[in-house]
Amino acid sequence: MDKEINVKVRVWRQQGPKAKGHFETYKLEKISGGTSFLEMLDILNEQLIRDKKEPVVFDNDCREGICGMCSLYINGHPHGPDDLITTCQLHMRHFKDGQTITVEPWRSAAFPVVRDLMVDRQAFDKIIQAGGYVNVNTGGVPDANATPISKLDADEAMDAASCIGCGACVAACKNGSAMLFVSAKVSQLALLPQGKVEAKARARAMVKRMDELGFGNCTNTRACELECPKGVSISNIARMNRSYLGAKLSE
């Protein structure tokens, strides 16, 4: 049985994108170590509502580590101090009794704060719209094994496709770069036969949109790879750079 702990939660409060934000600290007592981090925030909000105070706004959806909505910066780490998990998979047993936990939203010019811990990540959607798809006339639905694909390529494509678009890579990067996200979305298509035809044009279009949206440049510190909850490799960035360079040289 998980023991109960008492913690202080230092939460970023901000009324809107243009409002000045500040930290507020709340005390929570007898929180079970088996409580998930989001459940702890639910408990905090129930306490605030009982005290007739504004609850903390935060994003969440599936709570199963799939959707990437639970985008919180916890004690200096996107999604918290544990590796290869999202915030919803983080449990209170990872914190010590009496510890102060600092919770912030993603910090990026491209992700403006909506309110408190919730940010607007539509920038990722706009990058996908710029080229994260395949144009191919397939006719009827082909059999799954009609197009031979090597296991190595299939595995690498699946690893890239595991990116859930949470934005942890942007939050971890000192430059606010989205290169890991964009390269994963480029790679998951470029590695497969259906995506190779448009590979260069896709890389050019998505990188261009990324730059327009205000994301920073990559300086290869690998913080993005370290903090990615799905372990997406920065080798995807090298692959995307090669496609992008090829596209620019062929202009």
- Please tell me the number of Cα atoms within 13 Å of 166 on its side-chain side: 36
Per-residue pLDDT of the chain (251 residues; tens, 9 = 90+): 689 999 999 999 999 999 999 999 999 999 999 999 999 999 999 999 999 999 999 999 999 999 999 999 999 999 999 999 999 999 999 999 999 999 999 999 999 999 999 999 999 999 999 999 988 776 776 776 778 889 999 999 999 999 999 999 999 999 999 999 999 999 999 999 889 989 999 999 999 999 999 999 999 999 999 999 999 999 999 999 999 998 888 87
Q: What token pair was written down for 184?
A: 């994963």
The strand pair at 100-104 and 4-13 is best described as: parallel
The whole model's pTM is what? 0.93
Three-class secondary structure of residue 142 per DSSP:
coil
DSSP annotation of 185: H
- Cα 171 from chain centre: 8
Q: What token pair was written down for 170?
A: 């942007």
